[in-house]
Amino acid sequence: MARATMYFPDDFTWGTATAAYQVEGESAANDWQRWEQEPGRILNGDTAGKASGWWTDAEQDLDAAAAMGMTAHRMGLAWDRLEPEPGAFDEAAFGRYRQILTYMHTRGIEPMVTLHHFVNPLWLVAMGDFNNEAVVEQFRQFTAKVVAELGDLIPKWITINEPLVYITLRYLDGVFPAPQKSGFSAGMEALRNLLRCHAAAYHEIKQHYPDAQVGVAKQYRPMRPNNRIPGAKWWSKRLSWLFNDAWMDAMTDGQLRWPVGSGVIDGLAGSYDFVGINYYTYSLVHFPPWPGRLVNDNYPDNGLIGDGNYGELYPAGLFEAIKWALRYEKPIYITENGVPDDDDDIRPILILTHLREIWRAVSFNFPIMGYYHWSLVDNFEWERGWTQRFGLIALDPETQKRAMRTSAALYAEVCKTNSISSDMARKYAPSLLATMFPG
Ligand code: BGC
C-alpha cells in the first residue's frame, strides 16, 4: 500500500463546536431547564445537571483543545443568563463570557460565537417567543448588548443555529420545549421571525464591527425518496427545498417563498458573510407523506450507524452539502460534524472519511475555510439526554471526570499536521485504508 498524505491549505481552520446549554450546567431560567423537569420529556429522565461544567471551568477543555493543535472553537452564549429579565442584563454573566473568550485568545483559539442555539429565556417564552414579532426587537437589543460587551473578542458569529431543525423538532415533532402554538403554520410563522431576528442581528454586529464575519449554522441533510412510487422523487425534492434551501434562499435575496411566506424581509438580502454547514447524515423521505412522520430512520443494516440509531455515516453527503453551498458564492465553514459513538469505534472513520470529502472539495478550489468537529467534550444531547456521546473527550457527568478518546489523538494529528494520511488510516481506522488510499 503506497503512503499518501492529503494536505489542507495553510490557513485552514481546525476546531470543535459546543452550545451553551449543552456544556455549561447550573442553568438559569430557560425553557430547556423547565422542559427537562417534566416527566417523560428526556430519554431516561436525564437532566443537564452540571452538563460539562463549563460555567465554572471551560478552561480545562479549552486547554485540551489547544494541546490538540486546534486554532478555533465555536461556542454559544446563553441568552437567559445574560438577560434574565427583559432589558435587565447580568454583568457578572457577561464577565464570565469575557473571561472564557479572553482565555481562548490567549490559547490561540479563535472564537466563533452562537447567539441562539435552541434555548429561550422564560420571559421570552411567556410572550410567545418566535410567534410574536416583538422577538425581533428583543433579539436585536440582546445582540446590541453582546456586541457592546464582548464584540471586541468575537471575530466570527453565528446568529441562529439550525433554524429548520429547531422548527421541526419543536413545532412538528414536539420533542423540544413546547411553543405556545404548534403545528406547521405556527412553525412557518416562527421561521419568518427567526429570519427577521437574523437580519436584525446581522446589521447590529456589522454596524459596529464591519470586519466581523457573520453567518448561520445551517444543517444540510440529503433527502432521498424511500421508494420508487411515481411522485416520491418530486416529494423528496420539495422537502429538501424546504429543509435545505428555503432559509438560505431567503437570506440571499430577502424574498419569502411558499410555504414559508410571501413578500420581502427588510435587511435580509445578502445578510451573511459565509455559509456554515452542519452535516451529520441523510434522511429517507416517506411517500406518500405520513402526517407527523415525514422521514424515517430505517438505515441499511450494513451501514455504520451512530449510537441510538442516530443516522448512517454517509461522507458523500458532505461533498453534496459543499456543492450545494457553492451556489451562494460565499466562503464555507463546516460548523458541525460528528457522530454519537461512546465506544469510539466509528468516530475515527467519520473523521477521516469526512475530511477526505473536504479535501476533495478543497482540491477543486472550493472555498472551504475550516472544520469544527462536534464535539470537543461529551455534553447534554437535548431530548436524548446523556444517551448519546459526541465528544473527542469522554465525560462522566456525575464526577466530571474526563478521558481522551482515541479520536482525540487522531484529530490532534490532523490539526498539527494540517493533513490526513494513509498512516493515520492505518493507525486509527485500518478498514479504511483500501478505500481511502487505493493502490
Ligand atoms: C445541534 C447540536 C446537537 C447535534 C447532535 C445538531 O443538530 O446543533 O446541538 O448536539 O446536532 O445531535
Long-range contacts of 302-305 (CB under 8 A, 24+ apart): 304/346, 304/349
Q: Indicate whether 436 pLDDT > 90.
A: no
Instruction: From residue 420, give the alpha-carbon distance in Å to each of 92, 239, 337, 357, 428.
Output: 42, 35, 16, 11, 11
Q: Which range is least confidently modeled, 87-101, 206-220, 290-304, 414-428?
A: 290-304
- 383 CB near ligand 1 (under 6 Å): no
Q: Indicate whether 1 pLDDT > 70.
A: no
Q: What is the structure's pLDDT at 386?
A: 98
Mean pLDDT of 296-313: 90
Q: Indicate whether 225 pLDDT > 90.
A: yes
Q: How far is the CA of 118 from the centre of ligand 1 (A)?
A: 10
Query: Is the separation of the CB atoms in 369 and 333 below 8 Å?
Result: yes
Dist CA 38 CA 307 (whole Å): 25
**Which is more confidently placed, 436 or 139?**
139
Name which of 408, 373, 396 is nearest 53 in CA terms. Answer: 396
Can you tell me whether residue 27 is helix, strand or coil?
coil
**At 342, which helix (H) or strand (E)?**
none
Could you report the per-residue pLDDT of 252-285, keeping only the tens digit for each? 999 999 999 999 999 999 999 999 999 999 999 9
Dist CA 368 CA 359 (whole Å): 9
Render the burial of 194-228: b for 16+ CB within 10 Å, e for the rest.
bbbbbbbbbbbbbeebeebbbbbbbbbbbbbbbee
Dist CA 90 CA 105 (whole Å): 23
Q: What is the structure's pLDDT at 125?
A: 98
Atom of ligand 1 nearest to the CA of 379: 10
Q: What is the structure's pLDDT at 251?
A: 98
Dist CA 104 CA 62 (whole Å): 7
Q: What is the structure's pLDDT at 31?
A: 98
- 162 CB near ligand 1 (under 6 Å): yes
Q: What is the structure's pLDDT at 141?
A: 98
Q: Which range is least confidently modeled, 244-258, 296-310, 324-338?
A: 296-310
Task: Note the pTM of the prediction, 2 decimals.
Answer: 0.98
User: 3-state SS of the chain: helix, strand, coil percent to 5?
Assistant: 45, 20, 35
Mean pLDDT of 385-397: 98
Q: Cβ neighbours of residue 363 under 8 Å, at least 6 residues apart?
A: none
Q: What is the structure's pLDDT at 383?
A: 98
Going by pLDDT thresholds of 50, 70 and 90, the confidence category of residue 135 is: very high
Mean pLDDT of 148-168: 98
CATH architecture of residue range(s) 5-436? Alpha-Beta Barrel (3.20)
Going by pLDDT thresholds of 50, 70 and 90, the confidence category of residue 300 is: confident
Name which of 245, 248, 268 is nearest 193 in CA terms. Answer: 268
Give Cα 213 distance to the centre of its chain: 17
Atom of ligand 1 nearest to the CA of 390: 5
Query: Is the separation of the CB atoms in 277 and 248 below 8 Å?
Result: no
Dist CA 372 CA 276 (whole Å): 10
- 381 CB near ligand 1 (under 6 Å): yes
Give the up-direction half-sphere exposure of residue 286: CA atoms within 13 A in the CB hemisphere. 11
Q: How far is the CA of 437 from the centre of ligand 1 (A)?
A: 31
Q: How far is the CA of 271 from the centre of ligand 1 (A)?
A: 24
- 19 CB near ligand 1 (under 6 Å): yes
Mean pLDDT of 316-343: 98
Mean pLDDT of 104-132: 98
Can you tell me whether residue 172 is helix, strand or coil?
helix
Name which of 334, 330, 350, 372 is nearest 420 in CA terms. Answer: 350
Going by pLDDT thresholds of 50, 70 and 90, the confidence category of residue 296 is: confident
Mean residue pLDDT of the chain comes to 96
Q: Indicate whether 174 pLDDT > 70.
A: yes
- 24 CB near ligand 1 (under 6 Å): no
Could you report the per-residue pLDDT of 27-57, keeping only the tens digit for each? 889 999 999 999 999 999 999 999 999 999 9
Q: Cβ neighbours of residue 351 under 8 Å, at least 6 residues apart?
A: 373, 407, 410, 411, 414
| Dihedral of the alpha carbons of 11, 160, 33, 307, in degrees to the nearest 10 | -60
Any idea where the domains of the chain sit in the sequence? 5-436
Going by pLDDT thresholds of 50, 70 and 90, the confidence category of residue 80 is: very high
Going by pLDDT thresholds of 50, 70 and 90, the confidence category of residue 193 is: very high
Q: What is the structure's pLDDT at 2?
A: 66
Q: What is the structure's pLDDT at 372?
A: 99
Q: What is the structure's pLDDT at 195?
A: 99
Q: What is the structure's pLDDT at 439?
A: 64
Residue 198 grid cell: 437574523
Q: Cβ neighbours of residue 194 under 8 Å, at least 6 residues apart?
A: 130, 160, 163, 166, 167
Q: Indicate whether 58 pLDDT > 90.
A: yes
- 374 CB near ligand 1 (under 6 Å): yes
Using H for helix, E for strand and C for coil, what is the string for 98-131?
A: HHHHHHHHHCCCEEEEEEECCCCEHHHHHCCHHH
Atom of ligand 1 nearest to the CA of 118: 9
Name which of 319, 324, 320, 329 is nearest 272 in CA terms. Answer: 329
Mutation pick for ligand 1 pocket among 21, 169, 336, 395 (CB with most ligand atoms within 8 Å) = 336
Q: Cβ neighbours of residue 258 under 8 Å, at least 6 residues apart?
A: none
Mutation pick for ligand 1 pocket among 32, 347, 376, 382 (CB with most ligand atoms within 8 Å) = 382
Query: Is the separation of the CB atoms in 215 and 158 below 8 Å?
Result: yes
